[in-house]
Amino acid sequence: MLLQLNGISKSYGGTPILSGVSMKIERGERIGLIGVNGAGKSTLLQIIAGDLSYDQGDIYLAKGAKMGYLRQNSGLCLEKSMKDELLSVFKDMLQTEKELRELEEQMGDPALMEDKRIYEALLSRYATKADWFLEHGGYEIESKIRGVLHGMGLGNISQDTRIDRLSGGQKTRLALAKLLLAESDLLVLDEPTNHLDFTALAWLEEYLRAYAGAILVVSHDRYFLDGLVTSLYEVERAQVQRYKGNYSSYLREKERNRELHVKKYAMQQEQIAKMEEYVERHIVRATSAKSAKNKRKQLERLERFDKPLGDLQRTKLSLGVGKASHKDVLQVRNAAIGYENGSEYKSLLENISFQLSRGEKVALIGPNGIGKSTLLKSIIGEVIPGSGEIIWGKEVKIGYYDQEQASLQPHTTILNEVWSQFPLLEESKIRRVLGNFLFSGEDVFKKIASLSGGEKARVALAKLVLAEANVMVLDEPTNHLDLSSKEGLESALSHYEGTLLFISHDRYFLNKLADKIVELHANCAKVYEGNYEDYMEAKKQEQLFRQ
């Protein structure tokens, strides 16, 4: 047993976040920790790492075991250089290396060489330290640092660069690189795939699969969870439930458990209704009052099943297309995309060409900052291209999802935000659609400004449902959504009969939906047929051909 939690509880302001949580991790296990936003995943990780106190329970870590924790804030020393920060992982080895150099200097002293006893003692100390240094990889420090930095996409940055000069994403990757170099017995990772491109993600997955220690990871990256973990803990209603297997296995077992729970809940509700009816009818009758009182006591003692939770995955969202477009939906011909920078025009993309036909689901991918979102805005007419042509087909009706939700009015309510775009619709229809996105009852009167990122995303998606567009243009639609919401959106889009053009870093989403991938480069666009796995296989073949 590497780590064990028994009955861990944590509350904030009287509200239980974790209640009697118990879990265990064996050496070498790969454990995923999942749950809706705000369920308590990061709280649990902070407790395990010792960064946060808990109200009740016990935590046992195996004697001598070393734990490494990747925080959502990097925890790096900003004044240090990248190299010095990473070298701090190897302080014991660097100290030993220093001692070896000192011993070498002493052994080179002619005066000491004349004293055989002292010289042999120095040789013995040197041999012991040299063996330890070799065994612990002391001669591989530089190559390890280079390898991990390259894998994290930081290999082209000078190691002498100060950390405070790095971007937020680069700091996150450096913190992860430092943690991997420490080779802890237990890695505790909070959203390690944030800010990583596809190449870095593939490298990290391969590295972690071969990692000797155990891993506990919180992640919204389902493709990552599918390829790495051997079991999952789900945090739900302040409890944790363990599922064997990867993310896909979890989905299947979760569905079976849910169906069983729904049946049990329905049967119990029917039983409760009958018992309550019996009590109400017989409590006032002298002949049956005693029996009714006994029934009421039974009701009070009854251990009731929780009401099944609602989520987007269960609502079976339907995305209608209204009137169909013509077959040729979009042509992008030699487009150049950029933006005005003072008096100069800053070019991002040039010679971009691709086309969409009715019913296709096409993904745009490329490195961060290359101009994917700007290209989408040019396609829908918000940004004028520097050159080239963007030609829409006939009978096209566009629905656009902006990852920033910039079009949402912060001071209006959810209901009015949607109603203002569809003023001719009845309130009941708008409420029904909002209910599908988990906004029911008084929730629809919440102000947009008070919503979380995930809630704003759901409002924007609700507006898309009502638009009945025959072309959907989506910029990172799964950002801010929890896992069940992503599943629900995917299900709706997979059954959508219109045309889909989207940007996503979510490989699971890409793999499930895309039938064509357009890879953007600064001076061209390369088109690959198929989903994400087909794309990766094509990239492997290209690499083999180049070799």
Structure tokens at 235: 């945090």
Who's near 516: CB < 8 A, 6+ residues apart? Answer: 360, 361, 362, 363, 527, 528, 529, 530
pTM: 0.78
Residue pair 162/80 in contact by the 8 Å Cβ criterion = yes
pLDDT digit string, tens, across residues 438-494: 888 899 999 999 988 888 988 998 998 899 999 999 999 988 888 888 888 898 999
pLDDT number for residue 315? 52
- Looking at per-residue pLDDT, the higher value among 300 and 157 belongs to 157
Pairing label, strands 524-529, 516-521? antiparallel
pLDDT number for residue 316? 59
Structure tokens at 380: 């829908």
Structure tokens at 185: 């017995």
Alpha-carbon distance 174 to 177, whole Å?
A: 5
pLDDT number for residue 262? 86
Structure tokens at 44: 């649990």
pLDDT digit string, tens, across residues 84-132: 999 999 999 999 999 999 888 888 888 777 778 888 888 899 999 999 9
pLDDT digit string, tens, across residues 252-294: 998 898 888 888 888 988 888 888 888 888 776 766 777 877 8
What would the mean pLDDT of 43-62 be, rounded to a whole number? Answer: 94
Alpha-carbon distance 295 to 280, whole Å?
A: 10
pLDDT number for residue 330? 97
pLDDT number for residue 74? 63
pLDDT number for residue 232? 96
Quick count: other Cβ atoms within 10 Å of Cβ 518? Answer: 23
Q: pLDDT category, 350, cuts 50, 70, 90?
A: very high
Average model confidence (pLDDT) across the chain: 89
- Strands of the 186-190 sheet, one edge to the other: 67-70, 186-190, 214-218, 30-34, 231-236, 239-244
Alpha-carbon distance 209 to 29, whole Å?
A: 10
Residue that has been written with the tokens 């990766």 in this structure: 536
Instruction: Tell whether the model's pLDDT for residue 308 goes beyond 80.
Output: no
- Looking at per-residue pLDDT, the higher value among 293 and 396 belongs to 396
Please name the amino acid found at residue 488: G
Q: Which among 18, 75, 92, 76 has a CA at the least distance from the CA of 48?
A: 18
Please name the amino acid found at residue 386: G
Percentage of the chain lying above the pLDDT 70 cut: 97
Instruction: Tell whether the model's pLDDT for residue 201 goes beyond 90.
Output: no
pLDDT number for residue 528? 97
Range 451-456 contact pairs with CB under 8 angstroms and sequence separation of 24 or more: 451/414, 452/37, 452/38, 452/480, 453/479, 453/480, 454/37, 454/480, 454/481, 454/482, 454/485, 456/405, 456/408, 456/480
Residue pair 8/17 in contact by the 8 Å Cβ criterion = no
What would the mean pLDDT of 153-178 be, rounded to a whole number? Answer: 88
Residue that has been written with the tokens 């699969």 in this structure: 209
Instruction: Tell whether the model's pLDDT for residue 392 goes beyond 60.
Output: yes
- Looking at per-residue pLDDT, the higher value among 529 and 300 belongs to 529
DSSP string, 445-507: GSBGGG--HHHHHHHHHHHHHHHT-SEEEEESTTTT--HHHHHHHHHHHHT--SEEEEE---H
Instruction: Tell whether the model's pLDDT for residue 161 goes beyond 90.
Output: yes
